């Protein structure tokens, strides 16, 4: 049985997503803004009621420990931009990607990103996978759309593991 490259990448994505769903289904509202360390990145309310992620143009040393809210915003940012490129849309700026602001809305947002990503992925054939990837390596001909899709799968798996680990640590904290 022969499997297309796109179908193999979609299968890999679905395995990663199933592992992520385990944690998404168990997240509680108090998990999102729990700060696991004194030096951490989170999202903070802005004057207009939106949420602004902590950010630095160059990665600080030591790297701050992120909150689940920050990691979920980060997923929303890179995945929105990757989906824009996959579908040939104008990619969003980092500052245009706003964290939804609560647990249920965030989980729904992530699930909507999945739906959008899969719809774009399903439009591709193996020939499309050989085109030069515009993201996250700006138009470097050695990287193809297949590389970008593989990167999305890897990045999602990493971020899902981070959220899962943070959730597990938070639920182990002593009660008030």
pLDDT for res 170: 96
Please tell me the predicted confidence (pLDDT) of residue 1: 73
Say what the pLDDT of residue 119 is. Answer: 94
Mean pLDDT of 104-113: 97
How many CB atoms sit inside 10 A of residue 89's CB? 12
pLDDT at residue 140 in the model: 77
Query: Rounded CA gap, 148 and 171, in Å?
Result: 34
Q: At 141, is the pLDDT very low, low, confident or very high (cuts 50, 70, 90)?
A: confident
Residue 22's pLDDT is what?
A: 97
Q: What does DSSP assign to residue 101?
A: S
What domains sit in the chain, N to C, each tagged with a CATH number? 5-39+64-171 (1.20.120.450)
Predicted pLDDT of residue 33 = 97
Mean local confidence (pLDDT), 152-165:
97
pLDDT at 60: 93
Residue 73 contacts residue 100 (beta carbons within 8 Å): no
Which pLDDT score, from 0 to 100, does residue 56 have? 95
Q: Who's near 109: CB < 8 A, 6+ residues apart?
A: 72, 76, 100
Q: Summarize pLDDT for 63-100 with one digit per residue, the tens.
A: 999 999 999 999 999 999 999 999 889 999 999 999 99
pLDDT for res 153: 96
Confidence (pLDDT) at 74: 97
* 164 Cβ contact partners less than 8 Å away, ≥ 6 residues apart: 19, 20, 22, 23
Does the pLDDT value for residue 139 go beyond 90?
A: no
Average pLDDT in the chain? 93
- CA-to-CA distance for 111 and 2, rounded, in angstroms? 30
pLDDT the model gives residue 176: 63
What are 116-126's pLDDT values in tens digits?
999 999 999 88
Q: What does each C-alpha distance from 35 to 12, 32, 42, 68, 80 come to in angstroms? A: 31, 9, 8, 9, 25
Q: Are 167 and 26 in contact (CB under 8 A)?
A: yes
What local confidence, expressed as pLDDT, does residue 83 receive?
Answer: 95
């Amino acid at each position: 049985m022969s499997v297309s490259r796109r179908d193999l990448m979609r299968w890999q994505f679905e395995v990663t997503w199933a592992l992520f769903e385990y944690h998404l289904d168990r997240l509680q509202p108090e998990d999102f803004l729990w700060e696991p360390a004194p030096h951490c990145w989170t999202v903070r309310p802005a004057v207009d009621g939106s949420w602004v992620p902590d950010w630095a143009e160059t990665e600080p040393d030591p790297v701050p420990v992120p909150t689940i809210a920050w990691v979920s915003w980060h997923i929303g940012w890179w995945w929105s931009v990757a989906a824009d490129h996959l579908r040939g849309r104008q990619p969003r700026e980092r500052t245009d990607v706003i964290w939804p602001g609560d647990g249920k809305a965030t989980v729904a947002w992530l699930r909507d990103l999945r739906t959008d990503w899969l719809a774009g992925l399903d439009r591709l054939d193996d020939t499309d996978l050989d085109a030069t990837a515009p993201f996250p390596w700006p138009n470097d001909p050695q990287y193809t759309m297949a590389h970008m899709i593989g990167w999305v799968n890897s990045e999602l798996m990493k971020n899902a593991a981070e959220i899962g680990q943070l959730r597990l640590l938070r639920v182990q904290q002593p009660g008030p």
